[in-house]
């Protein structure tokens, strides 16, 4: 199993890797560089999702994908909330390279309204929450439909998080698997 680099030019998507900036719930960069990697199986399913979104004039903006185990500890130590973060002792699907955090964008690069921002640790972020606008509910259903049809599983507490089924069949990975580290 090897990680595949997810580059905007090869996958026709937009990268906005949140943990490489201070624009995330920790308020500071976690990664030293913005990069996006997935296991080959996940990259294949991402390609399928891209193909399903394209006829609707939509693309994806990726906020996170492979997250080294070291980064999972940084996030957990900042906010040890099992409703929104995997305990690193158990392992996150992100740290296995089989999870992706993303949203849909239109042809002009604007994000579709999903009712909350990415990484909003609130019940409003849960799939099926009806306290958000009907438009945001439709957009979440559209994202869920595309990703599910492409072979992804979802996490009920986060509208932005998708992962492969049975993620624990993949090993936990550290920053050392990358030729150029993401961590500082």
**Residue found under tokens 């994908």:** 65
pLDDT score for 16: 98
Pairwise CA distance, residues 123 & 126, whole Å: 5
Splitting the chain (184 residues) into consecutive groups of 10 residues, what average pLDDT does each group show? 92 98 97 97 98 98 98 98 96 98 98 98 97 98 98 98 98 96 96
Q: Tell me, what DSSP letter sits at residue 111?
A: B
**Catalytic option among 70, 83, 135, 158:** 158
Beta strands in 54-123 (DSSP E): 59-64, 99-105
Decide if 180 is catalytic: no
**What's this model's pTM, rounded to 2 decimal places?**
0.97
pLDDT score for 2: 85
Give kind and range of the element (H or E) at residue 122.
Answer: none
The answer to whether domain 3-177 has CATH 3.80.30.20 is: no
């Amino acid at each position: 199993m090897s990680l595949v680099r997810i580059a905007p030019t090869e996958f026709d998507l937009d990268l906005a890797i949140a943990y490489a900036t201070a624009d995330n719930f920790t308020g500071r960069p976690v990664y030293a560089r913005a990069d996006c990697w997935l296991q080959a199986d996940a990259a294949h399913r991402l390609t399928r999702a891209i193909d399903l979104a394209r006829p609707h004039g939509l693309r994806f903006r990726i906020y996170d994908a492979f997250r080294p185990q070291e980064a999972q500890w940084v996030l957990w130590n900042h906010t040890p909330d099992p409703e929104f973060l995997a305990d690193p002792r158990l392992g996150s699907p992100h740290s296995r390279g089989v999870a992706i955090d993303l949203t849909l964008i239109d042809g002009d690069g604007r994000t579709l309204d999903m009712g909350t921002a990415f990484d909003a640790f609130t019940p409003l972020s849960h799939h099926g929450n009806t306290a958000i606008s009907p438009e945001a509910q439709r957009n979440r259903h559209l994202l869920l439909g595309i990703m599910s049809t492409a072979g992804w599983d979802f996490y009920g507490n986060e509208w932005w998080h998708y992962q492969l089924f049975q993620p624990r069949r993949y090993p936990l990975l550290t920053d050392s698997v990358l030729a150029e580290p993401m961590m500082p």
